[in-house]
Amino acid sequence: MARRPADRKVYAHAKLRRLRREHGMNQVDMARALGISTSYANQLEQSQRPLTASVLLGIAEVFGVDAEFFSEAAEDRLATDLRTALADEACGEPLPAAEEVAEAARDHPEVARALVALHRRYRDTVEQAAALGSPGQSDGLLPAAEPHDEVRDFFYAHHNHFEPLDTEAERIAGVLDLRPGRAADPLTALLAERHGVRVIEAAPGRSGDARRFMPETGLLFLSPWLSDGRRAFQLATQLALLEHGPLLDQLTCGGPGLASPESPALARIGLANYFAGALLMPYDAFHAAAEEVRYDIELLSARFGVGFETVCHRLSTLQRTGRRGVPFSFLRVDRAGNISKRQSATDFHFSRLGGTCPLWTVYEAFSAPGRILTQVAEMPDGKRYFWVARVVIRGGHGHHAPRAEFAVALGCELRHAHRLVYAEGVALDDPRASTPIGLGCRICERRDCAQRARPPAGGRLALDPNRRTYVPYPVESAGS
């Protein structure tokens, strides 16, 4: 049985060694700065002894990092990425044990990241070659990674929190004295006064865009179907793009993984949306309200005058040092399993290859529109998460208007679930209340899952025609 996250001791692994070298110290210098012996410092770097509370405080003072720096979240994400890459290229060979992959990601993170990056470039090349379809025409092409995936990784690397944007948005919200549900008019006036922008209601049916700006004329067209909250959100996004361009550029310049030419521009839009959410839901006020109502999404939606999905997204950003909220993972998915949004402040890792798990409650939400569903989900490594999911519908203004239907979900580690109103009446400590899920059949190690669609890469499973599922090969036939 895997040790639960709450029971784990904190080890420095390679992070302390890298932190020391970045500050130009040797082990003797670091030991003196922390007030410990050189042998103890060496044992910490080699993960032979865990970090104590006093040492963590010393590290925070000397190197300017908090305890979250040594969180295993990044290592878990990297280990899953590495295992995914190895599974994709297993070619029938058995995969290394999950413990070996985790050890490689922990002790040699730079090597693991390089292998993952090489695998992604390989996949991009294969996919582009398949799309071209004509042999000989792809010579010399070095395709860039998918820009949207790079931007998602960029937000993922920052744990979906950008303190400079939160601080500036909170300042402006105070200056404008924005009121929930009544922010559109002050923002319209501000855009006109500072930037000469004139807001126009677009003609119905002309475009599906919620917002369309024409810089040459200063006209900002907004969809006539926007609610007051969504209208204010689009105005705040445009304000961020016009007034805080240098800050957006600073945050995206040299951002991790933004290699494609299109990625920085997409990241700027994502950051502008982040700013808009922070402006309509200022950090301190929103954090206090969330704690007060125990993260009741519908109550927060009513209090701040924004939609269900917008509140979910904002809840996933509450990671300000000294005033953290519940560390959530957030995603939006359609019926076909396409994930169009994924952000995370925790260590839950979204699968890149092979789809996601049909046992995940986010998919069950489509069969219960309008209801909020909950689930205690257990991953193959024993970690358990608490999930909240609901369907949201876009469009549909008129009988012939197209509608877009998504399921949005928030998840946190089970140790945080007691802080949520949705966990009332749920047997959080009962293992029988957990639903075993995985990251997709390609890399999931569960052998007895009735929903398994294919054997794991490099695995040894046979199709049982009677049970209509994959089962382990008999021991006596393992060598055949």
Give me the residue spans of the domains in the chain: 5-70, 74-143, 147-306, 326-440, 447-480
% pLDDT > 70, the chain: 79
Q: How far apart are CA 436 and CA 423, in angstroms?
A: 18
Q: Which residues are CB-neighbours of 15 under 8 A, at least 6 positions away? A: 69, 70
CB atoms within 10 A of CB 141: 11
What average pLDDT does range 381-386 have in this prediction?
A: 88
Containing 55, the helix (H) or strand (E) segment is: helix 53-63
Name the band, by pLDDT with cuts 50, 70 and 90, for residue 255. Answer: low
The residues that bridge with 373 in the sheet, in sequence order, are: 389
What is the reported pLDDT for 457? 60
Q: How far apart are CA 311 and CA 286, in angstroms?
A: 10
Among candidate residues 352, 358, 7, the one with its CA nearest the CA of residue 156: 352
**Phi–psi pair at 461, nearest 5 degrees:** -125, 145
Name the band, by pLDDT with cuts 50, 70 and 90, for residue 205. Answer: low
Q: Indicate whether 136 pLDDT > 90.
A: no
Look-up: residue for tokens 């890792």?
Answer: 349
What is the reported pLDDT for 418? 95
Name the band, by pLDDT with cuts 50, 70 and 90, for residue 478. Answer: very low
Q: Indicate whether 53 pLDDT > 70.
A: yes
Between the alpha carbon of residue 398 and those of residues 64, 204, 369, 402, the distances in Å are 56, 10, 20, 9
Higher-scoring residue by pLDDT: 420, 158? 420
Name the band, by pLDDT with cuts 50, 70 and 90, for residue 342. Answer: confident
Q: How far apart are CA 188 and CA 337, in angstroms?
A: 38
Q: Indicate whether 370 pLDDT > 70.
A: yes
CB atoms within 10 A of CB 211: 20
Name the band, by pLDDT with cuts 50, 70 and 90, for residue 440. Answer: confident
Write down the pTM of the prediction: 0.72
Q: Indicate whether 78 pLDDT > 90.
A: no
What is the reported pLDDT for 473? 40
The CATH number of domain 326-440, selected from 1.20.120, 3.30.70, 3.30.1540, 3.30.450: 3.30.450
> Taken in order 252, 345, 82, 86, is the CA torsion positive or negative?
negative
Mean pLDDT of the chain: 81
Higher-scoring residue by pLDDT: 116, 140? 116
Beta-strand pair 373-378/434-436: parallel
What average pLDDT does range 354-382 have in this prediction?
A: 87
What is the reported pLDDT for 391? 96
Q: Indicate whether 271 pLDDT > 90.
A: yes
What is the reported pLDDT for 421? 97
Higher-scoring residue by pLDDT: 12, 365? 365
Q: How far apart are CA 70 and CA 12, in angstroms?
A: 6
Contact by Cβ (8 Å): 98, 381: yes
Q: How far apart are CA 351 and CA 85, in angstroms?
A: 11
What average pLDDT does range 160-176 have in this prediction?
A: 94
Between the alpha carbon of residue 269 and those of residues 156, 239, 274, 284, the distances in Å are 16, 12, 9, 24
Which of 204-208, 251-255, 370-374, 391-395 has maximum average pLDDT? 370-374
What are 457-470's pLDDT values in tens digits?
A: 655 444 454 544 44
- DSSP SS3 for 102: helix
- DSSP SS3 for 202: coil
- DSSP SS3 for 426: coil
Q: Indicate whether 382 pLDDT > 90.
A: no
Give me 65's structure tokens. Answer: 């990092």
Name the band, by pLDDT with cuts 50, 70 and 90, for residue 451. Answer: confident
Higher-scoring residue by pLDDT: 328, 44? 328
What are 274-332's pLDDT values in tens digits?
A: 999 999 999 999 999 999 999 999 999 999 999 999 999 999 999 998 899 999 999 99
Higher-scoring residue by pLDDT: 177, 149? 177
Give me 81's structure tokens. Answer: 């990425």
Q: Indicate whether 448 pLDDT > 90.
A: no
Q: What is the 3-state secondary structure (H, E, C) of 270-314?
A: HHHHHHHHHHHCCHHHHHHHHHHCCCCHHHHHHHHCCCHHHHHHH
Domain 5-70: which CATH class?
A: mainly alpha
Q: Indicate whether 125 pLDDT > 80.
A: no
Among candidate residues 173, 339, 410, 143, the one with its CA nearest the CA of residue 260: 143
